[in-house]
Amino acid sequence: MNQISQTLERFGGVYLLPVIVGLIAFVLIGAPSSWVTLTVAGLSMGMMIFLMASGLSLIFGLMDVMNFGHSAFVSFGAFVSASALAYLSGWLGADSVALNILALFLAFAAALAFGLVAGWFFEVVIIKPVYHDHLRQILITMGALIVSEQIILAIWGGAPVSVPRPAFLEGSWLIGDVTIEIYRAFAFALGLAVYLALFFVLTRTRIGLLIRAGVENREMVEALGYKINRLFVGVFMVGSALAALGGAMWAGYETLITPALGGEMMIVVFIVVIIGGLGSVEGTLLGAIMVGLMANYIGFLAPKLALASNMILMMAILLWRPSGLKPAVK
Amino acid sequence: MSLLSLSQMKTSIGQYHVLHDVTFDVPEGGVFVLLGRNGAGKTTTLRSIMGLWKPSPGSVRFRGEDIAGLHASDIARKGIAFVPENMGVFGGLTVEENLVLATAKGKFDDVRLKRIYDLFPALEQFWTKQAWSLSGGQKQMLSVARAIIEPRELILIDEPTKGLAPSIIDGMAEAFAEIGQSTTILLVEQNFNFAKRLGQGMAVIDDGHIAHTGTMPDFAVDTALQEQLLSLSS
């Protein structure tokens, strides 16, 4: 195992894993066009999961808070965005791409704004009283997730809600034998843009330095003169808003959503955070891409194993790296 | 007037009463050493002064103002820096980033930076390296550099020689002597030779009480007292 690890490190370390998985899948799948389609689907799925999971990873790393209610923001983001899109359906179906984009932008902005405000409320009212108490965090955040599902049921009802897509994201690009769904390419591009923005903030700004330092040693950040509680609130709000944005993207991807969405995504989101390594945005991206690729490849190669693929991946990675692929330095 | 004055400071951690009655004064300027056996309460005293553990009751006066019960960040802003026993460097950040975080406005004062380079040349050499890759001695240098990158009135330093090679300890002693000329240092130390070399004033803590205060030159020659308070044999 050590030899494998050393060889891997020499050629790019854990960043090489998605490439290795892709190459193995290429051999097993055989048909290049199917492989490209599955790879694009896997990458876009990974990017949407990254949006949902990145905030949770930072919240856990910085605040040491186990927030099982995180996926409530995913659900609300999906439903708020779906309602906004339904309200703006006239713009969505218009021939004007500008109107399409504006409708989508407003729907995502609504999801983000909801995530920010709800994140602030959640942190101040639910999380703050149980700082440093993991058992109570689990109980109260699980309770919050159940309550949020009931609120969604009360507002939107139990029937599946259909999510309209803007006209410019409908359809596919046909490149030779390869079919690429436009929405998936868009999801990939948006996820990448969010990752690059997060990467820039975390590595090039003072607030980013503080977050990275706080993930490692909160006490020392305070001893340097910073009020870390304010940072907690800010990170929680941004993390919740990103989850809501991920939910909004996921809603457009699925086109039919139910109140159980949050509960279903919670497991995947936690798997990604654990695989990636707590507190690390890079690790979360890597974990999300691995989960997305594996789900699509295994779904194609061995459909009966598709549901178990995430668990198998998590077990394999934790056996190899118990702290995850790219954990924050502690 | 003393720079720092502790009066009947008591600190409990959970159900354990660690500090029972800590009273001593740290004069302005130079190095004041707090000595004591393992578990006597030295680290708890520093952490209580810094606000990382809340003392109650009793007072901690810094320039006459009671700072007991203030948040650690507020205490830091009053001009007190802390170098913890585990050094507290941020391993995922570079040497430069560690120091940037310790500045008030994110910019270095060239004169202070030059002083740090002179005191700890290794930091200039490893400026862009992540702190986890530094040796133990270099991490200690970074931790101390972080405390002096901005003007401070008091630096609390917890067992800086722990686990360091003798050659590094010598360099550290020279650096502390230099820093002590412009800033007051409250040093917690178990290495008596190191403490003897630097300290002017001193106190000995034993089982959460201050058992002795005085000057280091007097204590350094009183082997009977050393034996009694620190179990040091000549």
Chain segment A191-223, per-residue pLDDT in tens: 999 999 999 999 999 999 999 998 889 999 999
- Please state the domain extents for chain A: 2-320
Parallel, antiparallel or unpaired: strands B184-188 and B154-158: parallel
Q: Is the pLDDT of residue A1 over 70?
A: no
Give the distance from residue A34's alpha carbon to the nearest chain B alpha carbon, in angstroms: 40
| A221 contacts B93? CB cut-off 8 A | no
Q: H or E element: which one contains A32?
A: helix A32-63
Q: What are the residues facing B203 on neighbouring strands?
A: B34, B213
Q: H or E element: which one contains B225?
A: helix B223-230
Q: Report yes or no: A123 and A224 within 8 Å, Cβ to Cβ.
A: no
pLDDT digits (tens, 9 = 90+) for B69-105: 899 999 999 999 999 999 999 999 999 999 999 998 8
Q: Was domain B4-88+154-230 assigned CATH 3.40.50.300?
A: yes
Q: Is the pLDDT of residue A10 over 80?
A: no
- Put simply, whether B32 touches A (Cβ < 8 Å) is no
A7 CB-near residues (< 8 Å, 6+ apart): none
Query: What pLDDT does A20 receive?
Result: 93
The Cα–Cα gap between A112 and A253 comes to 17
- Put simply, whether B151 touches A (Cβ < 8 Å) is no
| A217 contacts B90? CB cut-off 8 A | yes
Give the distance from residue A1's alpha carbon to the nearest chain B alpha carbon, in angstroms: 24
Interface of A with B in 184-223 (CB under 8 A): 206, 209-210, 212-213, 215-217, 219-223
Query: What pLDDT does B233 receive?
Result: 57
Q: What are the residues facing B187 on neighbouring strands?
A: B33, B157
Q: Report yes or no: A192 and A282 within 8 Å, Cβ to Cβ.
A: no
Q: What share of chain A in percent tops pLDDT 70?
A: 98
How many residues belong to chain A?
330
Q: H or E element: which one contains A57?
A: helix A32-63
pLDDT digits (tens, 9 = 90+) for B151-172: 999 999 999 998 888 888 888 8
Q: Report yes or no: B55 and B10 within 8 Å, Cβ to Cβ.
A: yes
The type of residue at A240 is S
Q: Is the pLDDT of residue A229 over 80?
A: yes
Average pLDDT, chain A: 91
Interface of B with A in 84-103 (CB under 8 A): 84, 88, 90-93, 97, 100-102
Q: A154: exposed, middle or buried (C-beta count within 10 Å: 0-12, 13-18, 19+)?
A: exposed
Query: How is A207-253 classified by DSSP, letter by letter?
Result: HHHHHHHHHH-HHHHHHTT--HHHHHHHHHHHHHHHHHHHHHHHHHH
Q: H or E element: which one contains B62?
A: strand B59-62
Q: A60-64, A201-205, B200-204 — which is least confidently predicted? A: A60-64
| A328 contacts B101? CB cut-off 8 A | no
pLDDT digits (tens, 9 = 90+) for B19-59: 888 999 999 999 999 999 888 899 999 999 999 988 777 88
The Cα–Cα gap between A306 and A135 comes to 32
CB pairs under 8 A between A and B: 62
Backbone φ and ψ for B160, nearest 5 degrees, come out as -70, -15
Q: A76-85, A305-314, B78-87 — which is least confidently predicted? A: A305-314
Query: What pLDDT does B232 receive?
Result: 64
Q: H or E element: which one contains B59?
A: strand B59-62
| Confidence at A240, pLDDT banded by 50, 70, 90 | very high
Give the distance from residue B229's alpha carbon to the nearest chain A alpha carbon, in angstroms: 31
Q: Is the pLDDT of residue A5 over 80?
A: no
Give the distance from residue B98's alpha carbon to the nearest chain A alpha carbon, in angstroms: 8
- Put simply, whether A7 touches B (Cβ < 8 Å) is no
Helix (H, G, I), strand (E, B), or coil: what is residue B109?
A: coil
Alpha carbon A272 to chain centroid distance? Answer: 8
Parallel, antiparallel or unpaired: strands A256-257 and B31-36: unpaired
| Confidence at A329, pLDDT banded by 50, 70, 90 | low
- Put simply, whether B13 touches A (Cβ < 8 Å) is no
Helix (H, G, I), strand (E, B), or coil: what is residue B213?
A: strand
Helix (H, G, I), strand (E, B), or coil: what is residue B61?
A: strand
Top-confidence residue, A132 or A272: A272
- Put simply, whether B108 touches A (Cβ < 8 Å) is no
Side-by-side strand order, sheet with B209-215: B65-66, B59-62, B4-13, B16-26, B209-215, B201-206, B31-36, B184-188, B154-158, B80-83
- Put simply, whether B130 touches A (Cβ < 8 Å) is yes
Give the distance from residue B7's alpha carbon to the nearest chain A alpha carbon, in angstroms: 22
Name the CATH code of domain A2-320 (choices 3.30.70, 1.10.3470, 3.30.2310, 1.20.1070): 1.10.3470
- Tokens standing for residue A35: 């492989």
Output the CA torsion A129→A134→A140→A144 (10° steps). 110
Query: What pLDDT does B78 receive?
Result: 95
Top-confidence residue, A4 or A325: A325
pLDDT digits (tens, 9 = 90+) for B115-159: 999 999 999 999 999 999 999 999 999 999 999 999 999 999 999
Please state the ipTM of this predicted complex: 0.91
Q: What are the residues facing B17 on neighbouring strands?
A: B12
